[in-house]
Structure formats: C-alpha cells, structure tokens
A = this chain, B = another copy of it.
C-alpha cells in the first residue's frame, strides 16, 4: 500500500505588541479546502529527510530560513476523501517576526494569526497546532526557545511576557527576575531600552557559549 506524504508546518512567532504567540497560516490555493486558511506545507517530492523537506518548503514560503525546526509527529489521514492514501508529518518551527512578515499585498494569502484566536482549520490542522504548541511548551523547559523569537537584545520584561504567552499564565515579575538572574546564559548588557514611555529597562542577551556549558550540567534526577 502506497502513500503520498505531506509535511505540515506550524511556524510560531511572537508578537511583541500583542504579547501573543502566533502561527503562520496560508490560504489554500488548491482543492481540497480551497480558499480556506490552513497550515503551510506540501507533499514530499524529494528523497530526503522530512526535516529537510520541511525546511525547504518553509524557505519557499517565507524566503527566509527558520531558526529552529523539530518534528511533532506523523499523522495518518484516516478519512481521505479521494481514493489517495495520505500521511503527513508535522514540523514546528520558530521564526522571529522581524525576519518575516507577509508582504502587505499578500495578507490575503499568508498571515500571522494569534494562537488564542485560531479559526477552525481544515483536516486535522487544528489538532496539529495544539500538539505543536504542547511540544513547544515542553521544549522551552529544556532549550533556549525564547531567544529564537525575541530580538537579540531584550528587556527582562519582554522575556517574561513571552513565557506568559507560551504557558498562558501570569508570572510574578519579581520572582521571574530572580529566576532569570540565576540562569548563567542570560547576560546583562550595559545598555538600556530606548523610546519607552516609562523607566527604561536594562537590556539582556542570550549567551550561546554559556548555554552550552550549562546544558551539560543539567542532568535531572528521576524525581
């Protein structure tokens, strides 16, 4: 039994204005579900790892390389409308919103949509977004996820807002600050925010080398 295999991509970004995680949706040009908003992707048409296919599709769609790409899982389409056997592999990716925005004249075809206000998506795309989000939440406990979605230099407040959006919980700013200060890979800069209408905050940045060192000593016990 033979299958066509599609890759579906959940591309996350973080909107600093709205303090919201967003997902890139495109309007489908072909049937089925023609004209509806759905996840970008396409059929696997090269002999290569699925991750490579996903990265290629994303580059074609956005024109830039995503900075983080992980598989969510594979899905069998149990109800294929055509006689065609279909399977799909979902990937989630991170893309700094500053690096890609749909062209103004293309907002009808590609758009960032708030995770909290997703429309109903065709096929199992809704499920895939939820699964990907869950995976992203887990990944962020072990990996430097936020730094892919924030500008290189950022105030602690922005980092906190990001976590609040990711986990959908309010965080205490004093405890959050304390926690971050304990992370050796987030380093303070001798710079402050510009052009804000309140006391400007000190800026911080991610230190890759310090992270690598830290990662190795983070071996959790079973309980």
- Listed in ascending order, the chain A residues whose CB lies under 8 Å from chain B are 1-5, 43-50, 53, 71, 73-76, 78, 80, 85, 87, 89, 138, 140-141, 163, 166-167, 169, 171, 176, 179, 221-223
Contacts and interface: CB of A to CB of B under 8 A. Distances in A.
A73 B76 contact: no
> Is chain A's interface secondary structure helix, strand, loop, or mixed overall?
mixed
Contacts of A76: 44, 48-50, 53
Nearest to A79: B47
A160 to B, nearest CB: 9
Contacts of A48: 76, 78
Chain copies in the assembly?
2
A192 B3 CA distance: 54
Contacts of A166: 222
Contacts of A138: 138
A170 to B, nearest CB: 10
A49 B78 contact: yes
B140 A1 contact: no
Contacts of A3: 2-5, 44, 87
Contacts of A49: 76, 78
Given A1-B47, A53-B76, A71-B73, 20 more contacts: A1-B43, A1-B44, A1-B46, A2-B2, A3-B5, A3-B87, A44-B76, A47-B80, A47-B85, A48-B76, A48-B78, A49-B76, A50-B75, A50-B76, A73-B74, A74-B74, A87-B87, A169-B222, A171-B221, A179-B223
30 contacts: A1-B4, A1-B5, A1-B44, A1-B45, A2-B2, A2-B3, A2-B4, A3-B3, A3-B4, A3-B5, A5-B5, A5-B87, A47-B80, A48-B78, A49-B78, A50-B74, A71-B73, A71-B74, A73-B73, A73-B74, A74-B74, A138-B138, A141-B222, A163-B223, A166-B222, A169-B221, A171-B221, A171-B222, A176-B223, A179-B223
